[in-house]
Structure 1
């Protein structure tokens, strides 16, 4: 945007504040502007095309951008700004993460945590076998926080990592995956909610193709020492790591009728193009745009929709439902309803030329499903409920 436009938008917000009003958002012809103020020191604004979705999604995006700023320089630096030019230089470290947030689409990892506010998980039967490896290594390097990421999705994590706030787990996973690809990295980070004033280290170590080990630790041990130790600890787990990595992009195991011993889910309905499952109690999510084991069995209409397009459609579905029919945040009890209605929707469906969709909200879960247009509309509800039951009742692979 031209500097004059940015100045005008900031001036309008400042004028409102000086008059005792709070300007949250405005809509122009084909565009929307949302403002947020943090600690009376930083004002963030976002300008985007007006997609008709709730302002909560753009507000949440700005919350994540501010969280990325705090993660990079600490809360004190942005709360009490002494030198603006120095702060701008220091904030360059968060640019890759902010760019990742603004891109709104990660085709490689297919994660939606930046939109949902909960961490993306990968369900793998190997998690129980990998957990002791992770616990032993984290203890060896004198830390409590560690997780294994498979293309940006959490496969295994320590209990202390899972106790971090949902925003922190999302931003840490994105920080480990954003920017230039490398075998290892050592980043200074502040935890926006848990520890915003004390600097920690986020260390990532690539174990195999697509699998990274993430650690939160203090000044010691050094990255060189960690690189030496990681080979000794994880060499025996190579086959387990490779097997877990093979689940991408489906992100959950499917069993075949010939192998009854495999801990996995039964095949899903062939009309399902993709889904997003959120556990609102445990702050976890599972996304898949490749839910079938064999795409050849899919209908002709479904084959024409690329994996990237399915990911875009899932985002559109989530933004069109959440904030209008479902709670604006998975952590809310009830959505804000207008018009004096005393009830809220628990199921929503839409029909378009290219696809159909269905969304379900229960006490513990939210499920968003994409279907090929060939599925009968009346059948979507029963298929959706059956899919929700399949994905949430497996005792070995539980979200």
Structure 2
């Protein structure tokens, strides 16, 4: 086994010559000879007209390759054992396939992260390798966040839907975001609370879903740095990979930040001194109410059934999502023990991958080429066996029961205790979806 069990190491090399640019993740780095071998076997396959995208190691790990723009090669090496050893992931969920999908998504996100920070020209026209190595260091904080998944409940890296928080007073916050962005000569503004999007301008939602996800990740990284404000140059991986924009970000309260994408004006000082106070000081109590929601992500007007352990709700039209895990102390001792909070988040991710690689639609895959879709590792053979589009699926495991529901506008993924009758899963899911949409309009 090449890396420690349960860990993932990311390698970045030049595609043409195989020169290592950086390695991240896993405390014990792979030897240079192993890195050279991983690059060499991929190049050998390419010379024989074969695209090597994934393989499994003798020790149960995974290696995934991906070349971007014929310039940069990214390799993810997983030590396996990341599923917690439960029957859910190893037997019933076919863990190996889920891990491959996660690693492919990781490589996509890392490449887009590099473009976000450095721009595509810097990565596709490599003139000085040593200079590029130094420049890439500015991406490490964001890349490490993608690798380590530090914040529970942030699933956008996997779903490519913006992790959202639904505030109790959305209209007030929406008016403030729109007005603040307009005053800053921008059409792109966003309010982030607890690392999740609470309100954004219409043009912000028109950005590519992956861009919204990565900008949210960048906001979390900048907020964690402790700075009250910053002026950060960024490129949009899909919309503007070669022309930089300015990201102006301001901390309103601990845990609440607002940002805009703009051009040369306004200056950071003008926006901070003249605009932040004018638009956001009157809304301090509204922001505190929004912060009080915390990890629940839903306002108090939403009443969830007690048999819902965890949920992920995706709006397929806006590419937004809300997710939460509930911890209950009222379960009788005679029942099987509930999964821990961390395990519920893990199971929710696994069930999402299980459902979307076999039954449900991932809209973003419809616009990619067959070659790219094959590289991403989606299991099309299974889906092609259906004569119709599945709209519901369920899974009974040794830890919990799961139910997935797909409508033209939503996808809902639920975890429920084993004590819930299997025939009642659909009722719980449909009622949960109805309650959330009726109360929030999500």
User: Scaled by the length of structure 2, what TM-score is found?
Assistant: 0.81
1:342 maps to: 386
Corresponding position of 1:241: 287
Shift of 1:34: 1.1
Distance 2:177 2:260 in 1: 10
User: Structure 1 159/303 Cα, relative in aligned 2: closer, same or farther at 3 Å?
Assistant: farther
Question: SS of 1:203's equivalent?
Answer: strand
Partner of 1:273: 309
Deviates more, 1:330-339 or 1:362-371: 330-339
1:126 and 2:169 matched: yes
Deviates more, 1:348-357 or 1:326-335: 326-335
Q: Is the 8 A contact 1:280 1:331 kept in 2?
A: no
> What is the CA distance between 1:304 and its match in structure 2?
5.2
- Post-superposition shift, 1:348? 2.3
Residue matched to 1:53? 97
Q: Aligned partners of 2:252, 2:176: CA distance in 1, in Å?
A: 12
Report the counterpart of residue 17 of structure 2 in structure 1: none
Contact 1:273 1:302 in 2 (8 A): no
Of residues 303, 312, 325, the one that matches 2:359 is: 325
Alpha-carbon spacing, 1:303–1:181, altered in 2? closer, same or farther (3 Å): farther
SS in 2 for 1:249: helix
SS in 2 for 1:272: coil
1:142 equivalent to 2:176? Answer: no
SS in 2 for 1:246: helix
Higher helix share: 2
Q: Is the 8 A contact 2:251 2:257 kept in 1?
A: yes
- 8 Å CA contact 1:150–1:212 kept in 2: the answer is yes
Q: 1:312 aligned to 333, 346, 368, which one?
A: 346
- Residue 259 of structure 1 is matched in structure 2 by none
The question of 1:226 aligning with 2:260 is answered: no
- The answer as to whether partners of 2:72 and 2:123 remain within 8 angstroms in 1 is yes
The answer to which of 197-206 and 49-58 deviates more is 49-58
Match of 2:91 in 1: none
Counterpart pick for 1:173 among 211, 216, 226: 216
Task: For residue 125 of structure 1, report the CA deviation from its aligned partner.
Answer: 2.8
1:113 match: 156
Correspondences of 1:350-365 after superposition (within 5 Å): 350-365=395-410
Per the alignment, do residues 246 and 224 of structure 1 end up closer, same or farther by CA in structure 2, a change over 3 Å counting?
A: same
Are 2:323 and 1:287 equivalent residues in the alignment?
yes
CA displacement at 1:140 relative to structure 2: 1.4
Structure-2 separation of matches of 1:32 and 1:236: 52
2-side partners of 1:342 and 1:304: how far apart?
34
Question: Alignment partner of 1:142: what SS?
Answer: coil
**Residue 38 (str. 1) matches residue 68 (str. 2):** yes
Comparing 307-316 with 272-281, greater Cα deviation is found at: 307-316
Any residues of structure 2 matched to 1:290-301 within 5 Å, and which?
290=326, 295=328
Equivalence for 2:436:
391
- Which SS does the other structure have where 1:374 is aligned? coil
Q: CA RMSD in A?
A: 2.3
Q: Secondary structure of the residue that 1:248 maps to in structure 2?
A: helix
Deviations 1:40-90 (A, max 9, x none): 111111111453234333222111100000011101111111111111111
Residue 348 to residue 330, structure 1, CA distance change in 2 (3 Å) = farther
Q: Which residue of structure 2 lines up, in the alignment, with residue 152 of structure 1?
A: 195
- Quick check: 1:53–1:319 contact (8 Å CA) kept in 2? no
Mark the runs of 5 or more structure 1 residues left unpaired by the alignment: 255-263
Aligned counterparts of 2:230 and 2:177: Cα–Cα separation in 1? 18
Structure 2 residues not aligned, in runs of 5+: 1-29, 81-94, 368-377
Separation in 2, partners of 1:37, 1:329: 23
SS class of match (1:128): helix
CA spacing shift, 1:148–1:309, aligned 2, 3 Å: same
Distance 1:268 1:160 in 2: 32
State how far apart, in whole Å, the 2-side matches of 1:398 and 1:244 are: 17
Number of residue pairs matched by the alignment: 382
Give the Å deviation of 1:328.
Answer: 5.0
Contact kept? 1:326, 1:335, Cα under 8 Å: no
Match of 1:23 in 2: 52
Q: Label 1:213 to 1:335 Cα distance change in 2 as closer, same or farther (>3 A).
A: same
Alpha-carbon spacing, 1:312–1:302, altered in 2? closer, same or farther (3 Å):
farther
User: What TM-score does the superposition give when structure 1 sets the normalisation length?
Assistant: 0.89
Asked whether the 8 Å contact 1:123–1:398 carries over to 2, the reply is no
Q: 2:205·2:318 contact (CA, 8 Å) conserved in 1?
A: no
Identify the residue that residue 134 of structure 2 maps to in structure 1.
89
Structure 2: how far apart are the matches of 1:339 and 1:100? Answer: 32
Deviations 1:273-313 (A, max 9, x none): 110011112211111113x8xx4556666985443332222
**40, 54, 66: which one aligns with 2:111:** 66
